[in-house]
Amino acid sequence: MKSTADAAEPVLAQELLTPTDVVALIPGLKPKLLAEWRYKKIGPRFYKVGRIILYRFDDLEEWFEGLEHGGGSVGTD
Domain count, the chain: 1
Question: Which pTM was predicted?
Answer: 0.74
Give the domain extent around 45. 12-58
- In the structure, what pLDDT confidence band is assigned to residue 31 with cuts at 50, 70 and 90? very high
Per the domain annotation, does 5 fall within a domain?
Answer: no
Query: What 3-state DSSP class applies to 21?
Result: helix
Does the CA dihedral 53-40-25-8 come out positive or negative?
Answer: positive
Per the domain annotation, does 36 fall within a domain?
Answer: yes
pLDDT of residue 43 exceeding 80, the answer is: yes
Question: Cα–Cα distance between 28 and 23 in angstroms, integer?
Answer: 8
Question: Cα–Cα distance between 44 and 42 in angstroms, integer?
Answer: 7
Per the domain annotation, does 69 fall within a domain?
Answer: no
- Average pLDDT in the 42-63 region? 94
- In the structure, what pLDDT confidence band is assigned to residue 73 with cuts at 50, 70 and 90? low
- Average pLDDT in the 4-29 region? 84
pLDDT of residue 13 exceeding 90, the answer is: no
| Torsion angle of the four alpha carbons 20, 65, 2, 73, in this order, in degrees rounded to the nearest 10 | -130
Per-residue model confidence (pLDDT) at position 74: 63
